[in-house]
Amino acid sequence: MHSYKSTGPEFICAAAAAIALLAGCAHHPPPQQFTAAAPFSRTFTGSGDAVCWSVKRALLSQGYMLDRPNDAGVLTGSRDEQPKPKLNLTMRLQTTCADNRNGTSIVFVTATREENQLQKMKQTTSMGVGPATLTMPSGSARVLGTVRRETIKDPDFYGQFFTLVQNYVDQERVSQGSRLASKGNVTVPPAKRPARLTRELAQDAPPPDNRPQPMQPAAPNQ
């Protein structure tokens, strides 16, 4: 039995592929997908009800149409624009707010941008008799087709949204403080005593003193 070393093209290609794979792994590490510095959340001071209501007001103030999800803490809003005659731009924001049970609440938000362009699509008509079928062009139609869809990652975009939410949170705090102050200034009339209690108090009271009171000396005439 004789041993031999292969020096053919197959061996050379396999060795080159292995070297390229090792080099790629060494110089191109996988990108980091999860990081604490992601711009998709922020913590606010306030209860969950107040912060969620502020998120809703922020979306409505910017012209977003809100869906009606089953989860009360989730809000989804969309807004359509047409920057060009044949281009339609759709912005979608999905927010989730949760009460931290310590006087603060956290808001998560994800925004997507979708571009739809008016495109011409050919239409066909199928005709057949028995087993034979014939397909013929019948014209064309213009339809909106998605040309681009992406998740927005710009920190400035989310920073502007959270700043707007913070403004409404501050307004809600001032409004709540005014409501509490107005309730504190209301004078509550004293409760009336029941008639039975009034009679019992009258019976327990000491008898009136009917003895004549001593006369006070009159003041001398000047």
pLDDT digits (tens, 9 = 90+) for 104-126: 999 999 999 999 988 776 666 66
* Average pLDDT for 183-207: 57
Query: Bridge partners of 183?
Result: none
- In-domain check, residue 207: no
The single-letter code of the amino acid at 149 is R
From the list 119, 117, 93, 127, the residue with the least C-alpha distance to 107 is 93
The answer to the question of residue 222 being in a domain is no
The answer to whether position 198 is within a domain reads no
Question: Would you say residue 128 lies in a domain?
Answer: no
Domain membership flag for residue 199: no
Q: Is the pTM of the predicted complex or chain greater than 0.85?
A: no
Helices 48-61 and 155-184 cross at an angle (nearest 10°) of: 120
At a CB cut-off of 8 Å and minimum separation 6, what does 114 contact?
Answer: 89, 90, 91, 92, 146, 148, 149
- The CATH number linked to 164 is 3.30.310.80
Does residue 32 fall inside a structural domain?
no
Please, which residues bridge with residue 91 across strands? 79, 113
Residue 72 covered by a domain: yes
The 10s digit of each residue's pLDDT in 145-169 is 788 999 999 999 999 999 999 999 9
Tally the residues of the chain.
222
Domain assignment of residue 112, given as a range: 41-121+141-178
Q: How far apart are CA 203 and CA 207, in angstroms?
A: 9
| Number of domains forming the structure of the chain | 1
Rounded Cα–Cα distance for residues 110 and 98 (Å): 15
- The verdict on residue 47 lying in a domain is yes
